Amino acid sequence: MHTFLRIIILLLTVSGFAGEVPDNWETQPVSEESICIEYVENDNGAPGILAHLPVGLDAETIMRRLWDPYDNANRVDKLKKREIEQDTGTTRVINYCIQVLWARFEYRVFWHFFEEEQLITWRLIDGDLEILDGRWKVLDRAEGKTYLEHLAYARPKLSLLNSFLKPLYLKEMKKLLIEKQRCLQ
């Protein structure tokens, strides 16, 4: 019964967001506050975002701040729990819980920091999501600007929810990226 109620609540929660993303959402580039965002899908059809954020900090500082799970650059409003289960210095397992109104999603994520490549990757270990993976990568551009590349995919386990959650996921990711860019200036 608990799972059934969760599904109903989630459908009611996100149904108001349906239609905010155009039919060709996976290929339509968007530009907002100098962030270039492209909606993409992975090989399994999971919705994702590829974004390039111009940032003001140097690459080392950016990577250090992104690797610190408690830094303001990693703040997520709907995040109710972030607990480090394992930490080797360059890899981490973190337990998360995100709440969307009354529905809670718990999951564990494996993080890997590649210092020389200026790259941080993450992938789902287990939990209430089917797919969650992505990366942060610092890119130096010829014009002297530093960009942070963000690529992330997410999909819940219940395929029934996918059409409802795509617009919500994309809308929330845009807000998150704008906030992250602000924190890394």
For residue 16, name the pLDDT band (cuts at 50, 70, 90).
Answer: very low
The predicted model gives 57-85 an average pLDDT of 84
The pair of three-digit structure tokens given for residue 131, joined into one six-digit string: 């797919």
pLDDT over 50 (residue 120)? yes
- Residue range 141-168, pLDDT digits in tens: 656 778 889 999 887 776 555 566 666 6
Please give the mean pLDDT across all residues of the chain.
75
pLDDT over 90 (residue 131)? no
Distance from C-alpha of 129 to C-alpha of 158, rounded to nearest angstrom: 8
The residues spanned by each domain of the chain are 2-183
What is the value of pTM for the model shown? 0.75
Task: Walk across the sheet containing 35-41 and list its strands.
Answer: 29-32, 35-41, 47-55, 146-156, 129-140, 119-127, 103-114, 91-100, 79-87
Distant-in-sequence, close-in-space partners of 58: CB < 8 Å, separation ≥ 6: 146
pLDDT at position 105 is 81
C-alpha distances in Å from residue 86, one per residue of 63, 74, 135? 19, 18, 19
Is domain 2-183 given the CATH code 3.30.530.20 in the classification? yes
pLDDT at position 142 is 56
**Residue 106 · residue 124 · CB < 8 Å:** no
pLDDT over 80 (residue 178)? no
